[in-house]
Amino acid sequence: MQYMLDAASKNDALASMLASSNDLVQVLRDDDNLVPLFHVLASAMDASPKDDKGHVKQKSLVDAQMALLARVSGRYFDKDNKEICKREIDPNQVLAVALGNLVTPINDGSFKGQAPLEVIIDVIADVNRVDPTQAYEGTLNRSDYGSVSENVVDFLMNRERGLEQFYEVIRQGTKF
């Protein structure tokens, strides 16, 4: 976010962020089409199930990702305020560089002007449409959005083959 809101960043990131924010405000006025999206987002933020005392047994998707980002970007200092890099997951901040590159537009080739994140989102939408064998005209219909949403939620929540499995690999690899 710091890169996206920095007026001195390369590639007019701030101007793009402000234009996108303005577009987002306009889109949020479309209640008819946003209600299904809000249901998907609500399930991603749902911290359930709970035990008998009402305590959360499993973090929500959003909470789990925030905890992961905090752990990955966190610094470790000893009692003398000396940084101990070997106790940090990403002491060189590789993830911050990778995320910056993910939103930096491509300079050449068939994807010139698009950020890698845009290309990835387009591929996800194209592959997960109701019928991906049909020619893609650049717009999705209501059932396509439903199919894309179902597939994305499955990827994010599936413990055997989704992002939860990736988190487990990280958890096992970072135990000390």
The pair of structure tokens assigned to 42 is 């609500």
Q: Is 133 in the same domain as 164?
A: yes
C-beta separation of 75 from 88 below 8 A: yes
> Pick from 29, 62, 90: which residue ends a domain?
90
User: Which residue has better confidence, 19 or 116?
Assistant: 116
Question: Tens digit of pLDDT for each residue in 73-93?
Answer: 888 889 999 988 888 888 888
Gyration radius (Cα) of the chain, Å: 20
Question: Maximum CA pair distance of the chain?
Answer: 63
Distance of alpha carbon 62 from alpha carbon 45, whole angstroms: 6
- Looking at residues 152-174, what average pLDDT do you find? 86
Residue 30 is predicted with a pLDDT of 82
pLDDT at 1 over 80: no
Place of tokens 């994140």: 117
Kindly state whether residue 98 falls inside one of the protein's structural domains: no
Kindly state whether residue 20 falls inside one of the protein's structural domains: yes
Question: Tens digit of pLDDT for each residue in 34-68?
Answer: 888 888 888 777 766 677 787 777 777 778 888 87
Helix (H) or strand (E) holding 148: helix 142-157
Asked whether the whole model's pTM tops 0.85, one would answer no
State the residue range of the domain holding 83: 50-90
Q: Is 116 in the same domain as 129?
A: yes
Q: Is 36 in the same domain as 19?
A: yes
Kindly state whether residue 2 falls inside one of the protein's structural domains: yes
Kindly state whether residue 96 falls inside one of the protein's structural domains: no
Question: Tens digit of pLDDT for each residue in 115-153?
Answer: 999 999 988 998 999 998 887 777 888 899 999 999 999
Kindly state whether residue 97 falls inside one of the protein's structural domains: no
Residue 129 is predicted with a pLDDT of 92
Domain total of the chain: 3
Residue 81 is predicted with a pLDDT of 92
Q: What are phi and psi of 165, to 5 degrees?
A: -65, -40
Q: Is 34 in the same domain as 64?
A: no
Q: Is 112 in the same domain as 176?
A: yes
Q: Is 31 in the same domain as 60?
A: no
Residue 47 is predicted with a pLDDT of 66
Place of tokens 């009692």: 79
Residue 143 is predicted with a pLDDT of 92
Q: What do you get for the CA distance between the two ends of the chain, in Å? A: 30
Residue 176 is predicted with a pLDDT of 61
Helix (H) or strand (E) holding 99: helix 94-102
Q: Is 57 in the same domain as 40?
A: no
Residue 24 is predicted with a pLDDT of 86
Q: Is 113 in the same domain as 169?
A: yes
Q: Is 176 in the same domain as 107?
A: yes
